[in-house]
Structure 1
Amino acid sequence: MNRRAVLLGTSAAALAVFGGGAWYLRQQQEAEAQAAAAAAMTQNPEALIRPYSPILGPAQAPVTLVEFFDPSCEACRAFHPVIEDLLQQYPTQLRVVLRYTPFHEGSDEAVRILEAARRQEKFEPVLDALFEKQPEWAIHGAPDLDRAWRIAGAVGLDLEKAQSDRLHPDTTAILNQDMADMQTMGVRATPTFFLDGKPLTNLSAEALRDAVSSAVAGIS
């Protein structure tokens, strides 16, 4: 066996060990995340889903995907079309429960816009618009929240009424509770997904589609 063959064999073995180690680490992280989520829900069963949480899709759907999201989060914006596609693909089987996680500067104001829109039954069009136009208003370090309000107004939000609802005590309570639940559930980044109560640790569009597909197949 020549020296080149030995080196190639050694490299292949090293890659195999590395790959096996990475797989083990992912499995360990998933197990730890699931154990932490299970412990959190045992101590506080309502921490994952609150009665007030916005729901996309049928409220009584058998498969539940919970998303902790930030309206200013670029990754949340990237996943939004995936969520919409899944809701279209599984119109009766899937519901998506949204939890506010305003990590970015100005995101709490965006939540107030969304909650004002919900009172006017404009939640989904305003959510879609804020994500679509996110680069125009969610400027890191200098969010243009007046622009965010105008974007909401452009899709039908009554801005005068919405501004009067801006500091509604129910909205403040929702923000405070969602932030507390975020900590309880160990959410440290957005988006974070829980499918039927279990955290999804492999964050990719393909992994999300596969997980939801498997969950729907499991109820058939």
Structure 2
Amino acid sequence: MNRRIGVVATLVFSALAFTGGAILYSGTAEGEPTKKVVAGPVDSLIRPHSPIIGPKNAPVTIVEFFDPSCEACRAFYPTVKGIVAKYPKDVRLVMRYLPLHPGSAEAIVILEAARVQGKLEPVTAALLEAQPDWHDGKMDGAWAAAEKAGLNVAKARAMPTADAMAWMEQDIADARAVGVRGTPTFFVNGEMLVQPSPEQVEAKVQSVVAAMGQ
């Protein structure tokens, strides 16, 4: 366990170094979000390992660079979850991990264990709800919340973490490649939304869905 936490800490420091101190998006900017079209291969946004919530072949894709310990990610979560529920055939959410806080990478390990156990969505919701209890890196609260949401903690703690570590490293590298500077950062069908509010994310998805139906 201690060796794993050491690796986790190294990943966190790597993420912080890449962001230059992590300029975190608060989601409170007024007006229309700035638009940025990402140049480069699509697999910089979507990798085979990326968790997907919603239909895998949905025509509209939200990619979220996400940190379970990020307060803004917690604030955006009900909106993002609501968008996927509102468009059950048209929208999918692709989660990319960007650990920027104490405990973030271990929380991501928990989420990956939950995915293996078929509990990703309830455990994600539980970790975000309980975030104030473990945001400072005291991870007992995160494990307790995950267990209440149905995670088999004994199996989760016994899981190898090499894949999760490699996937986080890839997500950090991809975040750098596409110009992500903090969490949450959203892309809708490849277009970055810079410092949007939850309402602006929802409006953007609604407009894309409507345009595809014309």
* Class of the TM-score when normalised by the shorter of the 2 chains: 0.7 to 0.9
Unaligned 5+ runs, structure 2: 1-29
Take 1:219 and 1:174, find their aligned partners in 2: how far apart are those partners? 32
The alpha carbon displacement at 1:182 in A equals: 1.0
* Residue number in structure 2 paired with 1:157: 151
Query: Is residue 66–residue 73 contact of structure 2 (8 Å, CA) maintained in 1?
Result: yes
Give the secondary-structure state (helix, strand or coil) at the position aligned to 1:216.
helix
Select the residue among 31, 44, 49 that pairs with 1:47. Answer: 44
* Total equivalences in the alignment: 184
The answer as to 2:71 corresponding to 1:74 is: yes
Match of 2:107 among 99, 102, 110: 110
Deviation at 1:136, TM superposition (A): 1.1
* Residues in 2 aligned to 1:189 and 1:122: alpha-carbon distance in whole angstroms: 26
The structure with higher relative contact order (CA 8 Å, sep 6+) is 2
Whether 1:144 aligns to 2:138 is yes
CA RMSD of aligned residues (A): 1.7
Please tell me whether residue 197 in structure 1 is matched to residue 190 in structure 2: yes
**Cα drift, residue 177 of structure 1:** 0.7
Between structure 1 and structure 2, the one with the greater Rg is 1
TM-score by length of 1: 0.79
User: Displacement of 1:216 after TM fit?
Assistant: 0.3
- How far off is 1:219 after superposition? 1.1
* Offset at residue 45 of structure 1 (A): 3.3
Instruction: Give the secondary-structure state (helix, strand or coil) at the position aligned to 2:92.
Output: strand
**Alignment CA distance shift 1:65-1:184 (3 Å):** same
The answer to whether 1:175 aligns with 2:168 is yes
Offset of residue 115 of structure 1: 0.5
Misfit runs of 4+, over 3 Å: none
Structure 1: gaps spanning 5 or more residues? 1-21
Q: Please, what TM-score do these two structures have when normalized by structure 2?
A: 0.82
Provide the secondary structure at the position in 2 that maps to 1:98: strand
* Structure with more of its chain in helix, by fraction: 1
